Amino acid sequence: MSQRTRFVLSGPGPLERVLDDAHRRRFTRVDFNADTPENYPDRFDASRRRAVKARCRDLGITLGIHTLSAINMAEMTPVMHAAIDRYLLSNFDLAVDLGAGYAICHGGYHFGGDRAARLATAVDRMRRAVAWADERGIDINFENHNKEPDEAEPHYMPRDVAETREFLDVIDHPRFRWACNVGHAHLVPDGFDGFFQAFGVARIGQVRLNDTHGRYEEHLIPGQGIVDFKRVFRMLSGAGYGGPFTLDFGTADDKTRWRDTFAEWLSEIEGP
């Protein structure tokens, strides 16, 4: 199988248009977000859900849903706590109806003094979310998040190895996978090497790729920052990782161009 088939395209606009664009660019994997008006779950009636599922099957496209990181999985206020559970369930149900195999999820954020309580809330929510995902036959790909500047009031979780352990070590389930974000890892002292040494590749559901200058969150195009992508590929391949890579930067043209370049590098490392 060509190394190009390992790369995931995402983009704005109605899901059907993204699928057609992916097919035209010879992508076989698509992630989409259901938090824009054209893709709200309630905009997918039964007919549209069946049509999208059939379209993915006909085009040979594997689909995933990327939930919104602005939705605070660590929310504790009772009415919002319940609403966020409903948010997850609506995304999981949509994933099932569209034939998507996974949902990308996050740990939420805290505001400094409430970190411990919000972290516990987020871990508990993810534990329950895994049970819901398992009932529906889908995976959760759980993303290590970006570090916010120290002066910021909100801070995403998990941002480093220690916080990521709070989730991966506690929630030991085959449906709970790691969305390894390479760019985010470069924003903390652990770096990608620290995450790699701590967790290896056995639980990686997908690897998310973008460049970074290492100071704050900015999804740079490869070559504009500090990430040594060839080294990342060698480390992952050497440890036996054979899964997908999500391109999390630039325009669709940028992603297509770098998909082809990355695939060439992987072919040099692993073979075609």
pLDDT digits (tens, 9 = 90+) for 186-245: 999 999 999 999 999 999 999 999 999 999 999 999 999 999 999 999 999 999 999 999
Is the pLDDT at 60 greater than 60? The verdict is yes
Q: Which residue is listed with tokens 């319940």?
A: 82
Q: Domains in the chain: how many in total?
A: 1
* CA distances from residue 58 to 140, 155, 193 in whole angstroms, order as listed: 25, 42, 40
pLDDT of residue 15: 97
The alpha carbon of residue 67 and the mean position of all alpha carbons in its chain are separated, in whole angstroms, by: 8
The pTM (predicted TM-score) of the whole model is 0.95
Strand, coil or helix: what is 143? strand
Q: Is the pLDDT reported for residue 272 higher than 80?
A: no
Q: How far apart are CA 215 and CA 212, in angstroms?
A: 8
The string of pLDDT tens digits covering residues 84-105 is 999 999 999 999 999 999 999 9
- The Cα–Cα gap between 28 and 106 comes to 24
**How do residues 152-163 score in pLDDT, each as one tens digit?**
999 999 999 999
Would you place residue 39 in the very low, low, confident or very high pLDDT band (cuts 50, 70, 90)? very high
What's the chain's average pLDDT? 96
Distant-in-sequence, close-in-space partners of 64: CB < 8 Å, separation ≥ 6: 8, 29, 30, 31, 32, 95, 100, 101, 102, 103, 104, 141, 206
Cα–Cα dist 88/135, whole Å: 13
Instruction: Compute the average pLDDT of residues 41-52.
Output: 97
**Residue in 197, 225, 195 with CA at minimum distance from that of residue 207:** 195
Closest CA to 101 of 64, 49, 59, 56: 64
What is the reported pLDDT for 271? Answer: 74
Average pLDDT of span 15-30? 97
CATH number at residue 247: 3.20.20.150
Give me the domain span that covers residue 89.
3-270
Whether residue 1 has pLDDT greater than 90: no
Q: What is the predicted pLDDT for the residue at 159? A: 96
* Distances in whole angstroms, Cα of residue 264 to Cα of each of 257, 260, 269: 11, 6, 9
For the chain, list the strands marked E by DSSP.
7-8, 29-32, 62-66, 102-105, 109-110, 139-143, 155-156, 176-181, 204-209, 245-247
pLDDT of residue 152: 93
Place of tokens 């602005």: 70
